[in-house]
Amino acid sequence: MKLTVLGCWGAYPEAGEATSGYLLQTGRHKVLLDCGSGVLANLWKHVSHEQIDAVFISHFHHDHTADLGCLLYASKFAFAFKKRTKPLPVYASNQPGRFKELTFGEYSNGIEIKPDAVLNLDGLKISFAPTVHDAYNLAMKFEYAGKVLVYTGDLGPASDLSRFEGGADLLITESSLYAHETGLFQGHLTSVEAASLAKQLGAKALLLSHFPHIGETANLAAEASRCYAGKIYLAKTNLTVEF
């Protein structure tokens, strides 16, 4: 598996940057995980729009979906120039007022994710777990050829991801808060809480992302390292992790 960071800011992008978005690639797949503000401009540096096999949306906050409409337009143009012959599958929970937007004519197809679903896309197995957040959010586990990626989307410390325990090769989780901000927002993690989750899941490596817009983000990794001994990556645009 290869994971590329396309955006790593929470709420809104810093100048020239992007909010949440990640490209997951295997020998058979090119899958987009969330599609926040500014993500597409970075995605095109790695793949063309007709190469995307599927999109997975953790939840419908704008910092995870802002570029999705433009991606659906790209799918329309791919049809027009005969670069895509099947609708782009966009997987998400069925939230009133938003899920219907995922189906755009013949160019994209919104597919409902239920939390107990287990999908198999040509050998890529995906399972889900709801988290504690102020919008309905699904964390996701991707398994392929013996490798495991867990992506949390947004979540608070009361979230139960025990079904994902057993040793992820890489955990991507938010780190919206610094260690001293415990309890500030019930739907977001501090750096230390992110590290504790990595320990709970038995993750071999931790990618911190979804950053706050104050303070020194490098301190998030330093704080996490105090209670997690595995490899820690601090997300940045175009960072690629292979595992």
**pLDDT (tens digit, 9 = 90+) per residue, 30-59?**
999 999 999 999 999 999 999 999 999 999
**What value does the mean pLDDT take over residues 68-91?**
97
- What is the token pair recorded at 26? 């295997």
pLDDT of res. 233: 98
**Domain membership of residue 121 as a residue range:** 2-242
Contact 239/7 with Cβ under 8 angstroms?
A: no
Q: CB count, 10 Å around CB of 22? A: 27
243 CB burial (10 A radius; 0-12, 13-18, 19+)? middle
Average pLDDT, the chain: 98
Question: What Rg, from alpha-carbon coordinates, does the chain have?
Answer: 17
**Per-residue pLDDT band at 23 (split at 50, 70, 90):** very high
**What value does the mean pLDDT take over residues 172-186?**
97
Number of structural domains the chain divides into = 1
pLDDT of res. 173: 98
Q: CB count, 10 Å around CB of 58? A: 28
**Per-residue pLDDT band at 26 (split at 50, 70, 90):** very high
Question: What are the residues facing 170 on neighbouring strands?
Answer: 149
One-letter amino acid at 10 equals G
pLDDT of res. 181: 98
pLDDT of res. 107: 98
Q: Whole-structure pTM over 0.95, yes or no?
A: yes
Q: What is the CATH number of the domain that holds 237?
A: 3.60.15.10
Measured CA to CA, the distance from residue 243 to residue 7 in angstroms comes to 20
**pLDDT (tens digit, 9 = 90+) per residue, 100-143?**
999 999 999 999 999 999 999 999 999 999 999 999 999 999 99
